[in-house]
Chain A
Amino acid sequence: GAGVSQSPSNKVTEKGKDVELRCDPISGHTALYWYRQSLGQGLEFLIYFQGNSAPDKSGLPSDRFSAERTGGSVSTLTIQRTQQEDSAVYLCASSFGGRVSGNTIYFGEGSWLTVV
């Protein structure tokens, strides 16, 4: 597609339920990032995928969070047993990958998650 696509754009869920957030990166981009932005806060790194390499999961806040990327394209971020503190906008970004200094990253519009 023309840009990074995320779905759903908005999600309201009850505490304790599981949610799945989807990201479809720009075609040809091998690197994919997930960030979280709480209200009025900066961006918190969650996870990074690059091609077939093992993902960098160092930013995932707890074992309730997981992500996968199938076929090197679409990625799903799963939050199990959601808590109110999980309420935030979850932003996905993609870029041409590798340790190339000139790679601009492009963001989707985000998935706004509210846990009630």
Chain B
Amino acid sequence: KQEVTQIPAALSVPEGENLVLNCSFTDSAIYNLQWFRQDPGKGLTSLLLIQSSQREQTSGRLNASLDKSSGRSTLYIAASQPGDSATYLCAVRRASSASKIIFGSGTRLSIRP
């Protein structure tokens, strides 16, 4: 059974710092991994998708890496801004069942001005 874990559950850092959010999964047989952002009271916004054959993806100040063998992904945020404050979730699409996308419980990020 695929399980997705995100640690820490919450993180608070001062503005301008570079930071890393962690995501781990128990079954390395995945199709892809996707990082999302969720603002309070809102739906999820897709940030980056990494296919199983890829090692990393970049978009602006965001960089996501994938290490399937160790069951880990990281989301790197450079030069953090107060507007980055949100909950960040990772989600894994399993290779054994393309339908099921398993989500972690998220990291609630707060950037202090």
Give the B-binding residues of A (Cβ under 8 A). Answer: 4, 31, 33, 35, 41-43, 45, 48, 50, 56, 58-59, 91, 93, 98-99, 101-110
Known: A56-B97, A101-B53. 15 other contacts (CB 8 A): A42-B89, A48-B99, A56-B99, A56-B100, A59-B100, A98-B98, A99-B31, A99-B98, A101-B52, A102-B32, A104-B49, A107-B36, A107-B43, A109-B42, A110-B43
- For residue A97, which residue of chain B has the nearest CB? B98
B91 partner residues in chain A, CB cutoff 8 A: 43
> What's the Cα separation between A86 and B41 when bound, in Å?
17
Give the A-binding residues of B (Cβ under 8 A). Answer: 31-32, 34, 36, 42-46, 49, 51-53, 89, 91, 93, 97-106
Check B43 against A42 for contact (C-beta < 8 Å): no
